[in-house]
Amino acid sequence: MLFLGFLPDKYIFPSVIKACAGLSTLGIGRQVHSLVSVTGFGLDTFVQSSLVHMYVKCGEMKDAHRVFDRMLDRSVVCWSALVAGYARQGYVDKANELFDEMRSFGVEPNLVSWNGLIAGFSQNGLLSKSLLILQKMHLEGFKPDGTTISCVLSVVGDLEGLPIGIQIHAYVLKQALHSDKWVVSALLDMYGKCGSPSAMMQVFYELPQMEVASCNALVAGLSRNGLVEDALKVFKQYKDNKIELNVVSWTSIIACCTQNGKDIEALQLFREMQLSGVKPNAVTIPCLLPACANIAALMHGKAAHCFSIRKGISSDVYVGSALIDMYGKCGRIVDSRHCFDSLPARNLVCWNAIMRGYAMHGMAGEAIDIFNLMQKNGHKPDFISFTCVLSACCQGGLTKEGLQYFEKMSQEYGIEARMEHYACITTLLSRAGRLKEAYSMIKEMPFEPDACVWGALLSSCRVYANVSLGEVAAEKLFKLEPNNAGNYVLLSNIYAAKGMWNEVYRVRDAMSSMGLTKNPGCSWIEIKNEVYILLAGDRSHPQMAQIIERLERLNMEMKKSGYLPDTNFVLQDVEQQDKENILCGHSEKLAVGLGLLCTPPGSALRVIKNLRICGDCHTVIKFISMFEGREIFVRDTNRFHHFKDGMCSCGDYW
């Protein structure tokens, strides 16, 4: 328009200025402001008003006030915008003064002015200020509307103010505002954030009408309180009632599943979302990717990556960091690094994600390089960065370096050691056989060690067959986690390794009298877009006979090459042949067996296990990698084992 020689008029300028009222467009907005000044429209009330709004929206209060001061005719709209702007920035007195000044100029505030003031205070987290205004407003005879209430409520939950929330709810009922859809979702949101899901459900049962906003608030709130099943039920009810769900609804329910261990469900919901015609966005993808990462569903993760590229959101830092994490956890550290390198901007989460990936893969050197590089790039490591670098040192056996980083953390970086750091150092020391030092450090910890710390010590006591310390750690663990059978198993393993059979039986009796059974070993493998789950000793898979046959054939080959089954890993008191059969039924072996059957020769296999990989399986899979000429990745609870040509990337140190 300008190019063609036309000038905007007083009707067009406000619209243009409104379009500039965002942080990214403020620069253009300032240019338009100059144009307004030179063309003489700077005296028009509407143009001035829109300029005030633009600056307020961008938080540029000085500029907003400068324009405002020059105005001859200040409407209530303009006063309200300025007041709200100051309130949002936390200038409480200034906002209140201006509000009163407006009246002394003969301009009466309207509902929008009151709401703007309250919204401003709420956005700044100033609950008490918002409540004061609500009270004042009420006393002056102004009836609040749904906006007023939702503004006040929006700041209640974050401050754990359930009693105040309940009071406001009572006020809502008195004012007969409980059917307002904004009020309903604000109430749901408040109760969710205040940890009162029962109150949420009460609001839900009394809903005047099912709306997408209430669905979203319900799902988010139930999820926040860990009630996944309820969230899924509510979500289904909205779906069955043909309520048109939006991208927030679907993203919320997917996030709910991934955050509560329902990864397969998350993947199914993502598919359903697409079938329903709702397009995922830059929030959906980082909510979905952890599901792919958790169960190492690489194909699903890749599909989400391709989608992000097509949609032009793969450079988003949230998407990017989720991709780095997903590839890392799916055993594709090179792809993970590629995602990291191709991000135009990285935040601390991205740096920590790639570092954690290297740590999981036992690539301590690379993790340390990243740790140094991030600082050169101006990112200060946080406590998570240190957890990553310490666990990298753990996995890589870099005991000396790990101890140095631990010391530097508090001394040079001023970061107090947390539980996870102590757990890392316990592992670091005890894996290096320095069990006594580990125990001394635990005793000197400034807070009570948790089960992770004692568990790290106990596992290493098993490796080094240290009975006395193992007993100490186990005693602590029995108190901290009375129902965790794994600790009993570890202790009895320690006794068994020393041939202390009476103690072995004593521990097992204790276990069985408490009704504890070992957490069943469970492994996953993704084959052609499908995720298969295999349980230890479970023979229900349709191809189980073939799997066993294949493993037994390999077993014979291995024995010819001098391999001895390590039956120390079998706890049951059974005959040698039975022990071998039990070993054969370990879930990671079954998953590898299924992979061998169902994938082309020579292709890589990726298996995830819910427990630490067993020593015998480790030996067997090393053999399989050589004999079958396959790369095999096994992710256990601690790290990745990359088997190739008969060797493992962990160097048999895990």
Partner DNA sequence: TTAGGGTTAG
Please give the residue ranges that form the binding site for DNA (CB under 7 A): 10-11, 14-15, 18, 45-46, 49-50, 53, 57, 75-78, 80-81, 84, 110-113, 115-116, 119, 122-123, 145-148, 150-151, 154, 180, 182-183, 185-186, 189, 212-213, 216-217, 220, 247-248, 251-252, 255, 259, 281-284, 286-287, 316, 318-319
Residue with smaller CB distance to DNA, 49 or 459? 49
How far is C-alpha 382 from the geometric centre of its chain's CA atoms?
A: 17
Residue with smaller CB distance to DNA, 84 or 98? 84
The first and second tokens of residue 58, run together, are: 């961008």
Residue with smaller CB distance to DNA, 316 or 335? 316
C-alpha distance from residue 223 to each of 56, 202, 283 (Å): 35, 16, 17
Q: How far is the CB of 3 from DNA (least distance, A)?
A: 21
In the DSSP assignment, the letter for residue 73 is S
Residue with smaller CB distance to DNA, 53 or 635? 53
The residues facing 530 across adjacent strands are 527
Residue with smaller CB distance to DNA, 182 or 654? 182
Q: How far is the CB of 110 from DNA (least distance, A)?
A: 4
How many angstroms separate the CA atoms of 271 and 292, rounded?
13
Between the two ends of the chain, the Cα-to-Cα distance in Å is 69
Residue with smaller CB distance to DNA, 118 or 596? 118
Residue with smaller CB distance to DNA, 320 or 521? 320
101: three-class secondary structure by DSSP: helix
564 φ/ψ angles, rounded to the nearest 5 degrees = -115, 130
The residues facing 468 across adjacent strands are none
CA dihedral 442, 443, 449, 453 (to 10 degrees): 20
How many angstroms separate the CA atoms of 484 and 630, rounded?
36
How many angstroms separate the CA atoms of 57 and 13, rounded?
17
Residues in the chain: 654
CA dihedral 497, 653, 547, 585 (to 10 degrees): 20
Residue with smaller CB distance to DNA, 184 or 394? 184
DSSP state string for 513-569: HTT--PPPPEEEEEETTEEEEEETT---STTHHHHHHHHHHHHHHHHHTT----GGG
Residue with smaller CB distance to DNA, 286 or 331? 286
Q: How far is the CB of 59 from DNA (least distance, A)?
A: 13
* CB distance 181 to 153 below 8 Å: no
Q: How far is the CB of 19 from DNA (least distance, A)?
A: 10
Q: Which amino acid is at 174?
A: K
Q: How far is the CB of 305 from DNA (least distance, A)?
A: 14
Q: How far is the CB of 58 from DNA (least distance, A)?
A: 12
Place of tokens 């530097």: 408
Residue with smaller CB distance to DNA, 49 or 587? 49
Place of tokens 């700041």: 155
Q: How far is the CB of 348 from DNA (least distance, A)?
A: 14
How many angstroms separate the CA atoms of 199 and 188, rounded?
8
Q: How far is the CB of 387 from DNA (least distance, A)?
A: 18
The first and second tokens of residue 638, run together, are: 């601690």
Q: How far is the CB of 635 from DNA (least distance, A)?
A: 21
Residue with smaller CB distance to DNA, 26 or 409? 26
Q: How far is the CB of 337 from DNA (least distance, A)?
A: 21
C-alpha distance from residue 409 to each of 381, 393, 460 (Å): 9, 14, 25
The first and second tokens of residue 419, run together, are: 């539980």
Q: How far is the CB of 56 from DNA (least distance, A)?
A: 8
